[in-house]
Amino acid sequence: GAVVSQHPSWVICKSGTSVKIECRSLDFQATTMFWYRQFPKQSLMLMATSNEGSKATYEQGVEKDKFLINHASLTLSTLTVTSAHPEDSSFYICSANKGQENSPLHFGNGTRLTVT
């Protein structure tokens, strides 16, 4: 069964609004979660590493003020896309691994965001 739950699965919003995506680890505690973005027919791109109790680490080129990450508990990380624009339309996926750093990443089901 799923070990990482992501919500919502899809969302359509208007330009200028903000959208919050939740990622939960269901049966384990995740001090670290990862947020990815994937455009059609392209590879997964790591946006940021979410750290419980501290600030997220953003990859180069990702605007931290636009993509707000909060990792308030050991089982929940949220990504908020602020002032969304059509170019933010994409497939956003969170992931976490249990325990050791070389344990497999388990992915949420992803959120398809469409900004009109």
Partner 1 sequence: GQNIDQPTEMTATEGAIVQINCTYQTSGFNGLFWYQQHAGEAPTFLSYNVLDGLEEKGRFSSFLSRSKGYSYLLLKELQMKDSASYLCAPLDSNYQLIWGAGTKLIIKP
Are 95 and 36 a contacting pair, CB within 8 Å? yes
**Which residue, 46 or 68, is less far from partner 1 as judged by CB?**
46
Q: Which of 41, 49, 44, 38 is nearest to 90 (CA)?
A: 38
Question: What are the helix and strand counts (H, E) for the chain?
Answer: 0, 11
42 binds partner 1 (CB under 8 A): yes
Q: Which of 35, 108, 113, 115 binds partner 1 (CB under 8 A)?
A: 108
- Backbone phi, psi, residue 20, to 5°: -110, 130
Residue 87 is classified by DSSP as G
Q: Which of 1, 14, 43, 53 binds partner 1 (CB under 8 A)?
A: 43
Q: Which of residues 88-107 bind partner 1 (CB under 8 A)?
A: 91, 93, 95, 101-102, 104-107
The residues that touch partner 1, with contacts defined as CB under 8 A, are 6, 41-46, 91, 93, 95, 101-102, 104-110, 112
